Amino acid sequence: MIQIKEITTKKEMKQFVKFPFSLYKNNKYWVPPIIKDELESFDKDKNPVFEYAKAYFYIALKENKIVGRVIAIINTYEIEKQHIKKMRFGWFDTIDDIEVSKALLGKVAEIGRENNLEYLEGPIGFNNLDKTGVLIKGFDHIGTMITWYNHPYYADHLEQLGFKKEKEYIESTFSFSNVDIKKYSKASSIIQKRYNLTPLNFTSTDKIMPYVDEMFDLFSKAYSKLSTYVPISKEQIAYFKKKYISFINPEYIKFVVDQNHKLVAFAIVMPSFSKALQKAKGKLFPFGVFHLLKARKNSKDVTFYLIGVAPEYQNKGVTAIIFEQFHYTFSAKGIQNCIRTPELEDNQAIHQIWKDFDPIIHKRRRTYKLDL
């Protein structure tokens, strides 16, 4: 018999976070989170996302052993301001037993009906900065720190339970050698002169911080038309600064400003921490932090995390300025491969940015929907 239990104690929350460590034990493609960071992100007193989100944490038990987990999420902004009657679910993990998935998602559906919501969608997080989607292709490629990995049977479970494809995302990779610096240097020079634009490069995190709020304002303008967009509060921005910005190499953050020093474009790239996180095994100490710092300095693979261009500058070639600056940085560091985070399959604007680099789609993931 399967029992669904709501998490109520710190001990149970730690069990919730650690369940995937047993589910993916010895899987060479799964990338574990840092347990401490994961616990903090689920702490309602520390993560400002809970100012507009309600979350219910559940584990599935079979013979007193954890066999699955899920978070049921109600995004109150989405429901009250955008009038989207959606019940979210995320951090969905299960053994290969359809009855476990049925019990977990049945509980999520129950909460959705109690709150007069119209449908379930997932797996997704609280907002656009969270992980999203069930992996449906690319199980033999290592994951990243900002995506979920899952067994192939996840999608099968969802489809057997009546869930339908809602959104599809692609992930791609390309060799740094595919970037034609002559082409981008010429284009960058022309664009800078035409629109009076200037690239900004950084060597210290302190010099980046004054621009972060403006960067998120630009992020909102650039992504607000996407169907997945949920605004990010000032408190969440402050949380992001504290948790992530100091973790990213300052030279991997590029800005472009106009003649009034107003931000018109940005890009954030991270060194690949995947193998370092696997070595850390969920712990920073005693050796995890060493592996992460080593990757931060020496990784030859990078992940393009965020890129945004002000609407009035889109389709004007501004990304040529960014790519030229990254070329100088990547050449100095000996970068070999560039990895793209999940992008909506129908987001043609973002696909146009990468088309000249001959990207190879190596992963696909989906969110699934079930009407209530």
- Per residue in 120-137, pLDDT tens? 999 999 987 799 999 999
- pLDDT at residue number 361: 96
187 and 289 in a single domain? The answer is yes
Tokens for 229, please give them: 């967009």
* AA letter at 77: Y
CA–CA dist 228, 169 (Å, integer): 12
The mean per-residue pLDDT over the stretch 107-132 comes to: 95
Tokens for 130, please give them: 């969270």
CA–CA dist 350, 239 (Å, integer): 27
197 and 271 in a single domain? The answer is yes
136 and 193 in a single domain? The answer is no
Render pLDDT for 259-293 as a digit per residue (tens, 0 to 9). Answer: 999 999 999 999 999 999 999 999 999 999 999 99
What pTM value is reported for the model? 0.93
264 and 345 in a single domain? The answer is yes
- pLDDT at residue number 13: 98
51 and 103 in a single domain? The answer is yes
- pLDDT at residue number 250: 94
Residues 6+ apart with CB under 8 A from 333: 300
CA–CA dist 21, 166 (Å, integer): 28
* Beta-carbon-side half-sphere exposure of residue 108 (alpha carbons within 13 Å): 33
User: For residue 305, is it within any domain?
Assistant: yes
Task: Tell me: pLDDT of 206 over 70.
Answer: yes
Render pLDDT for 1-28 as a digit per residue (tens, 0 to 9). Answer: 899 999 999 999 999 999 999 999 999 9
212 and 231 in a single domain? The answer is yes
* Beta-carbon-side half-sphere exposure of residue 60 (alpha carbons within 13 Å): 27
* AA letter at 78: E
User: For residue 259, is it within any domain?
Assistant: yes
- pLDDT at residue number 244: 77
Q: Is 315 helix (H, G, I), strand (E, B) or coil?
A: coil
Tokens for 272, please give them: 């690949």
Render pLDDT for 207-248 as a digit per residue (tens, 0 to 9). Answer: 998 888 899 899 888 877 766 667 778 888 888 877 778 778
Helices then strands, counting H and E runs in the chain, come out as 12, 14
User: For residue 58, is it within any domain?
Assistant: yes
- pLDDT at residue number 227: 60
Q: Whole domain around residue 275: which residue ranges?
A: 174-364
User: For residue 371, is it within any domain?
Assistant: no
The 10 Å Cβ neighbour count of residue 367 is 23
CA–CA dist 331, 302 (Å, integer): 12
144 and 240 in a single domain? The answer is no
302 and 196 in a single domain? The answer is yes
Render pLDDT for 292-312 as a digit per residue (tens, 0 to 9). Answer: 999 999 999 999 988 999 999
User: For residue 236, is it within any domain?
Assistant: yes
- pLDDT at residue number 221: 85
CA–CA dist 152, 139 (Å, integer): 7
User: For residue 372, is it within any domain?
Assistant: no
CA–CA dist 368, 150 (Å, integer): 15
- pLDDT at residue number 272: 95
Tokens for 294, please give them: 């080593």
> DSSP string of 89-139?
EEEEEE-S-HHHHHHHHHHHHHHHHHTT--EEEESB-SSTTS-B-EEEE-T
Please report how the helices 153-160 and 98-114 are oriented relative to each other, as an axis angle in degrees rounded to 10: 50
What CATH number did the domain enclosing 33 receive?
A: 3.40.630.30
Q: Are 148 and 124 spatial neighbours (Cβ–Cβ below 8 Å)?
A: no
Render pLDDT for 153-203 as a digit per residue (tens, 0 to 9). Answer: 999 999 999 999 999 999 999 998 888 888 889 999 999 999 999 999 999
- pLDDT at residue number 234: 82
- pLDDT at residue number 181: 84
* Structural domain total, the chain: 2
User: For residue 40, is it within any domain?
Assistant: yes
- pLDDT at residue number 103: 98
